[in-house]
Structure 1
Amino acid sequence: MRLSEIKNILETVEGVTFRLPKGTYVLEHFHVTEVGVVTRNFIDCGGTVRKETVANFQLWDANDYEHRLKPKKLRNIIALSEKVLGMEDSEIEVEYQDTTIGKYGLDFDGKDFVLTVKNTACLASDSCGVLEKREVVEDQSCCTPGGGCC
């Protein structure tokens, strides 16, 4: 989800809820403690210089049990971040503390904002020798000791 998309959604929803990938919810008294720009400059394993920029939202569960973030308040936080930081219409990455700080993508299912799983990947698979995934053979009859297929 891009920054422009969340801003449009926040114009129409009555509440702000975030659902984790496994179906549980971020506690309703969460805070958005940061909205920012994260830029990552790096070289992939194939030697290509790359730059990635995301709009970063950090969610935090506090012991402020009466707190509820309203859509208008989140719109105001985003607007201030755009003005002060010069944010562009980037993809949103959400940080949330589980057993460690997790980084998630963001989607919307018509009711809840959904934190989506992000995965690592080789960005230079064509030049670094990573083999394509092989199809898994379901028929186990060929996999006998010494058969060479396993």
Structure 2
Amino acid sequence: MKLSEIKKHLASLKTIAFQLPNGDLVPNHFHVTEVGRVTKNFIDCGGTVRNEEVANFQLWEEDDYDHRLHPEKLTNIIELSEKVLNIADLDIEVEYQGATIGKYGLDFNGTNFVLTATKTDCLAKDNCGIPQEKPKMKLAQIQTQNACSPESGCC
């Protein structure tokens, strides 16, 4: 989800809720402690220089159970961050504390913002000797010579 999309969704909401990939909701007294621009410059294992940039939200919760972040307040935080940090309409990543800090993508299901699981990946598979995915075939489609059939008694 991009910054423009979250602002569009926030404009139609009365309350904000974030849902974890397992379906649980982030406690409703969460804070968005950071909205920022994260730039990652790196070299992948194939030697290619890469640059990534995302908008980053950090969700945090504490024992202040009466705290509620309202949609217009989050919109204001986002717009201030865009202006002061010169953030473009970037994809959003969300950090949230579980057993360790987790990094998630963001989606919207019509009611809640949904934290989506992210995965690592090799960006240079062709240089690393990683085989391309093998085609999936049904065993019934595989033709073999001199194969024994279940009725032949050879198995």
Normalising by structure 2, report the TM-score. Answer: 0.86
Q: Distance in 2 between matches of 1:51 and 1:4?
A: 22
TM-superposed deviation, 1:135:
6.1
Q: Distance in 2 between matches of 1:45 and 1:108?
A: 34
The answer to whether the aligner puts 1:36 opposite 2:36 as a matched pair is: yes
Alignment partner, residue 45 of structure 1: 45
SS in 1 for 2:95: strand
Q: Distance in 1 between matches of 2:7 and 2:24?
A: 24
Equivalent residues in 2 for 1:76-115 (5 A)?
76-115=76-115
Q: Distance in 1 between matches of 2:92 and 2:36?
A: 10
TM-superposed deviation, 1:4:
0.6
SS in 1 for 2:7: helix
Equivalent residues in 2 for 1:4-83 (5 A)?
4-83=4-83
Q: Structure 2: which 5+ runs fail to align?
A: 140-155
Instruction: Write the deviation string for residues 79-105 of structure 1: whole angstroms up to 9, x where unpaired.
Output: 110111001110000000000000000
Q: Distance in 1 between matches of 2:35 and 2:91?
A: 13
TM-superposed deviation, 1:62:
1.0
Normalising by structure 1, report the TM-score. Answer: 0.88
Q: Distance in 1 between matches of 2:60 and 2:137?
A: 44
Q: How many residues align?
A: 139
Q: Distance in 1 between matches of 2:62 and 2:80?
A: 23
> How many percent of aligned residue pairs carry the same amino acid?
61
- 1:124 alignment partner AA: A
CA-based RMSD: 1.4
Instruction: Write the deviation string for residues 86-143 of structure 1: whole angstroms up to 9, x where unpaired.
Output: 011100000000000000000000000000000000111122211123468897xxxx
Alignment partner, residue 149 of structure 2: none
Q: Distance in 2 between matches of 1:62 and 1:135?
A: 49
Q: Distance in 1 between matches of 2:136 and 2:25?
A: 35
